[in-house]
Amino acid sequence: MSLPDQLPILPLYDKVLLPSIVTNYTLSDAEAKHLIKNDFIVCIPLMKNPRGNTIAGLNDDLGRLYHFGCTAEILNVDQSLPGTTVLHVQGLCRSRVTDIVYEGTSFEALVTHHFVMDDDNGREEDKYNKNNGCNSTKINQEANEAQFRVLCKEYITRMQELGIADAILLQLTRSMANEPLPSIISLLLYLTESATFDDKLSALEAVHYQQLLELAIKVVSCHLQTLRTSTEMQQTVEQALDHHRREFYLRHQFHRIERKHNNHFVLPQQQQQLRSTRKNNNPYNIIFKTNNNNRNTNVTNIITSSNEDDEELADLVRQLNQANLPTYATSVVSRDIKRLRKLTPSTPESGILRSYLELVASLPWQQQLATTTTYTDDVSITVAQKHLDTDHYGLGQVKRRILEYLSVIKVKKDLSPPILCLVGPPGVGKTTLARSIATALNRKFYRMSLGSIRDEADIRGHRRTYVAAMPGLLINGMRKCGVKNPVILLDEIDKMVQNSNQGDPAAAMLEVLDPSQNISFMDHFLNIPFDLSQVLFIATANSMESIPGPLLDRMEVVHLSGYTTDEKMHIARSYLWPKQIEAHGLGKMGITLSDSALLYIIEHYTQESGVRNLDRNMASLCRYRCKEYADMAEKSETKKLQQLHLSQSSSSSLLLSSDLKPKIEIDDIHVILGAPLYDFDMVDGEEAVPGVVFGLAYTQGGMGGILPIEVNQMPGRGRLTLTGSLGDVLKESAYIALSWIKSNAYALGLTASRKDELLSDMDLHIHLAAGAVRKDGPSAGITMVTAIISLLSGKSVPKTTAMTGEITLRGQIRSIGGVKEKVISAHRAGIERILLPATNQREVLQDVPENIRQSIRFIYCKSLWDAVEAIFDYDGLHTM
């Protein structure tokens, strides 16, 4: 077919016409006017962004015309719609635009036509191959053609899978069978969505068959790859969706079955209640069900979950149903469940609400330990006594007091007797006593440390509006116990910080310990009253003085004093040593500790009222022995070890190898525990001198000890200097002592006449030994008076005499604390005579062990005159 070289131009916006494609173009009548006069036109695409290969020298649209177009035959012109002309055209060949000319009314293109054929006739690619200097073989071309046909088939299959219109696929299949490859390529590029505008432009200027084939393979492969990826993705998504659908379906079924069961087990009268509940349109589906176990309210409410899609929420509702909540709690919880259902699960608010409801579900609202229904039913005094005796040596008074306390509970059948408070120095067995009480009562035991609690919220919890709000110690403890009748130990109640700027924790504690209030204890976080009336509280403290008054008022104080060396020996021998031997697996090794070694440890490696350090030292001895055995094993003394094992299995005690002594003696103690830590304060040695007198001290840790008080004089004007880290009370004692001596100087024989002023030209200096240790308390008053009189009178006080007692300005002697510890330490230091307030005689008789009482002479003084009379040679003093 011969085509004209000059053709009217149809500019194509965003489109490319390729040879053999038949299509329609809709134009305005004005645009189409000069075109429809011809049989052939050239359709030239307009570049979006003109590049180098557009037709140069023209403005506007003409400047954007591509340098290649497609010559097309106008098959039909449709002007049935007013103002519009539809051109029905068919692409014929690729045409290179060589120039644009203006023909009176319109622009026309001067073109060169290119026909791309896949047969030998007129093959343009021969020229192309020659031009490119490459000699393309027929094989190469056939391979490409074969590949292209395979790709086309896959393309059709994929399109069928995707449900592309049958007409298009039919056209493509038909073309595959009948048309030459360039036509098929044109059609494919026309149909392929992923063929870009640029791809189509490249196809338009691909005037060589091979070039066109390669381009088509690239475009179709690329498109197929996209299809494959999207199919895979679709399959994955569908699988996931299937999984979700299946899960949803199963969960739905599960809930239906569950609901059916719930209804099944509702008793007839409950069904009646259920019906009336539903009638009331209760949005939460709350069923009110009679619960025989509920002693307080006789009613438990069950929250049913209807159609709960959130598995966790359904779980939570189930837990809440099982928690036997009282009526007042159920209404709060139902409201919160409703709120939770409305919240998006991922929001922080939802998380907070959920953890709150989890707390409610986990609290022991009704649960009791053991089979008993009330706390008081199972108090067996005999069992309690057995437990206390098994776990603790001595402590006769304390045990008796505890058993009396439990007897009151048993007889009165309620828990209203005051809370028990065990007061004593550390390590004397307060915690273990409380634990024994719990075991004896078959109750769970929970220890709650109140040491250095300064925030009221620690007891009562934070309000839920605070960030990171938490329930208080009590509610947390109840949650951990899981029963509503445990024994809770309020450890170190005296260490609670009072009146801090974060509220008063002691005030919150009052509510806990008050039986009339703790039946509905209100924790700020829980915000539902919780019944603590079944809990048995036991408190411990080191000293009574620092327990807040109102708290002390609600408690029954039981004092535990420190142990004597003898008691420590017994405890170590019968309790601590066997316990440590067992704990270190040395049970059958026959290791023993000699009495002298044990005493040496007590006296030189511990300085405590309790037995905690002693226990640690026992553990050190056992560890050391273990190490020796381990070393022996490593040295491959296999024979010895075999013997060891043989004899272990045959007898309870073992003959050890010659390297390992079964008995630990004093010499071993030095090796195992190192050099002695403490040396005894012994009063023998130096001569007694005027102005030095031994007092008796009692430390914070509950230890007693002797404390020498030294007084010296120097020229001056009657001033008093005090050193030795003295507290205010101790300083005041010194001033009282000096005032009493000054006012009674003549009677004491320190001045020649009643009018003489004592110390008018002299200063006094009082020093208490161990300057680094802070000291306070009033009990050194009597010792200071004696020391000053001793100095001023020049009469020394025997070194075997010690004293303790508070004094008043008028010379009376008041009682002091820690008598037992003071007397025991004095005895240990070699004191033979002790002056004590007369009012402390009872403690001496009650607490001080018989053997010590027998070896010390006690002088009980009511006033300072009694003391002066007993110590100094009365003849040397003036009579009143």
Which amino acids are annotated as binding site, given as ranges? 424-431
| Phi/psi of residue 624, nearest 5 degrees | -60, -45
Site track 127-146 with ligand ADP (rule: CB under 6 A), x = hit: --------------------
Shorter beta-carbon distance to ligand ADP: residue 394 or 590: 394
- Cβ–Cβ under 8 Å, residues 469 and 525: yes
Whole-number minimum distance, CB 487 to ligand ADP, in Å? 14
Active-site entry in 183, 775, 822, 825? 822
Whole-number minimum distance, CB 835 to ligand ADP, in Å? 31
Q: Which helix (H) or strand (E) segment is 57 a member of?
A: none
Residue 537: what residue type? F
Interatomic CA distance for residues 651 and 649, integer angstroms? 6
779 is annotated as an active-site residue = yes
Interatomic CA distance for residues 77 and 85, integer angstroms? 7
Shorter beta-carbon distance to ligand ADP: residue 424 or 461: 424
- Number of Cβ within 10 Å of residue 107's Cβ equals 16
The SS3 assignment for 763 reads strand
Shorter beta-carbon distance to ligand ADP: residue 432 or 713: 432
Shorter beta-carbon distance to ligand ADP: residue 171 or 546: 546
Interatomic CA distance for residues 742 and 454, integer angstroms? 47
Per DSSP, helices labelled H in 179-208 are 181-191, 197-204
- Cβ–Cβ under 8 Å, residues 859 and 805: no
Q: In the set 432, 543, 613, 657, which binds ligand ADP (CB under 6 A)?
A: 432
Among the listed ranges 29-37, 192-200, 246-254, 421-429, the one in contact with ligand ADP (CB under 6 A) is 421-429
Mark 697-709 as b/e (b = at least 16 C-beta within 10 Å): bbbeebbbbbbbb
Q: Which helix (H) or strand (E) segment is 484 a member of?
A: none
147 binds ligand ADP (CB under 6 A): no
For the chain, what percentages of helix, strand and coil (3-state, to nearest 5) are there? 45, 20, 35
Whole-number minimum distance, CB 845 to ligand ADP, in Å? 21
Q: In the set 428, 526, 789, 819, which binds ligand ADP (CB under 6 A)?
A: 428
Shorter beta-carbon distance to ligand ADP: residue 108 or 615: 615
426 binds ligand ADP (CB under 6 A): yes
Which segments are annotated as binding site for ATP? 424-431
Query: Which 250-289 residues touch ligand ADP, going by CB under 6 A?
Result: none
Q: In the set 97, 437, 555, 611, which binds ligand ADP (CB under 6 A)?
A: 611
- Cβ–Cβ under 8 Å, residues 781 and 758: no
Cα dist. 175→152, 153, 179, 199, 562 in Å?
11, 12, 5, 21, 110
Q: In the set 50, 180, 394, 830, which binds ligand ADP (CB under 6 A)?
A: 394
Q: In the set 209, 375, 575, 872, which binds ligand ADP (CB under 6 A)?
A: 575
Shorter beta-carbon distance to ligand ADP: residue 576 or 738: 576
Q: In the set 429, 749, 778, 837, which binds ligand ADP (CB under 6 A)?
A: 429
Name which of 669, 643, 664 is nearest 654 in CA terms: 643
Whole-number minimum distance, CB 616 to ligand ADP, in Å? 10
Whole-number minimum distance, CB 828 to ligand ADP, in Å? 20
Residue at token pair 């030795």: 724
Pairing of strands 833-837, 857-861: parallel
Shorter beta-carbon distance to ligand ADP: residue 320 or 560: 560
Query: Which 488-547 residues touch ligand ADP, going by CB under 6 A?
Result: 540
Among the listed ranges 132-140, 283-291, 423-431, 479-487, the one in contact with ligand ADP (CB under 6 A) is 423-431
Shorter beta-carbon distance to ligand ADP: residue 432 or 796: 432
Whole-number minimum distance, CB 821 to ligand ADP, in Å? 15
Shorter beta-carbon distance to ligand ADP: residue 435 or 524: 435
Which conformational region is residue 44 in: left (phi greater than 0), alpha (psi within -120 to 50 degrees), or beta?
A: beta
Interatomic CA distance for residues 391 and 794, integer angstroms? 54
User: What are the residues whose beta carbons fall under 8 Å from the beta carbon of 717, sequence distance 6 or more?
Assistant: 760, 761, 763
| Phi/psi of residue 10, nearest 5 degrees | -110, 105
Among the listed ranges 156-164, 442-450, 607-615, 809-817, the one in contact with ligand ADP (CB under 6 A) is 607-615
Whole-number minimum distance, CB 582 to ligand ADP, in Å? 13
Cα dist. 750→35, 195, 516, 714, 717 in Å?
147, 125, 63, 16, 17
Whole-number minimum distance, CB 611 to ligand ADP, in Å? 5
530 burial type by CB count under 10 A (0-12 exposed, 13-18 middle, 19+ buried):
buried
Q: Which two tokens stand for residue 210?
A: 């091979």
Size of the site for ligand ADP (CB under 6 A): 18
Among the listed ranges 296-304, 428-436, 800-808, 841-849, the one in contact with ligand ADP (CB under 6 A) is 428-436
Question: Which residue's Cβ has the minimum distance to ligand ADP?
Answer: 429
Active-site entry in 779, 790, 793, 825? 779
Whole-number minimum distance, CB 421 to ligand ADP, in Å? 12
Query: Which 699-728 residues touch ligand ADP, going by CB under 6 A?
Result: none
Q: In the set 19, 326, 364, 427, which binds ligand ADP (CB under 6 A)?
A: 427
Whole-number minimum distance, CB 425 to ligand ADP, in Å? 7
User: What are the residues whose beta carbons fall under 8 Å from the beta carbon of 829, sequence distance 6 or more?
Assistant: 680, 681, 682, 683, 705, 706, 802
Whole-number minimum distance, CB 649 to ligand ADP, in Å? 31
Cα dist. 533→332, 488, 521 in Å?
22, 12, 9
Q: In the set 285, 319, 376, 431, which binds ligand ADP (CB under 6 A)?
A: 431
Q: In the set 395, 536, 547, 766, which binds ligand ADP (CB under 6 A)?
A: 395
Shorter beta-carbon distance to ligand ADP: residue 495 or 765: 495
Shorter beta-carbon distance to ligand ADP: residue 243 or 623: 623
Shorter beta-carbon distance to ligand ADP: residue 450 or 864: 450
Interatomic CA distance for residues 221 and 548, integer angstroms? 87
Number of helices (H) and strands (E) in the chain: give both, helices first: 31, 24
Residue 318: what residue type? R
Q: What is the DSSP letter of 576?
A: I
Among the listed ranges 6-14, 218-226, 427-435, 702-710, the one in contact with ligand ADP (CB under 6 A) is 427-435
Among the listed ranges 15-23, 588-596, 606-614, 656-664, the one in contact with ligand ADP (CB under 6 A) is 606-614
205 burial type by CB count under 10 A (0-12 exposed, 13-18 middle, 19+ buried):
middle
760 is annotated as an active-site residue = no
392 binds ligand ADP (CB under 6 A): yes
- Cβ–Cβ under 8 Å, residues 332 and 346: no
Whole-number minimum distance, CB 614 to ligand ADP, in Å? 8
R_g (Cα) of the chain, nearest Å: 52
Among the listed ranges 371-379, 495-503, 523-531, 609-617, the one in contact with ligand ADP (CB under 6 A) is 609-617
Among the listed ranges 275-283, 297-305, 422-430, 682-690, the one in contact with ligand ADP (CB under 6 A) is 422-430
Query: Which 615-634 residues touch ligand ADP, going by CB under 6 A?
Result: 615
List of E strands, 275-339: 286-290, 299-303
The residues carrying an active-site annotation are 779, 822
For ligand ADP, the binding residues (CB under 6 A) are: 392-395, 426-432, 540, 571, 575, 610-612, 615
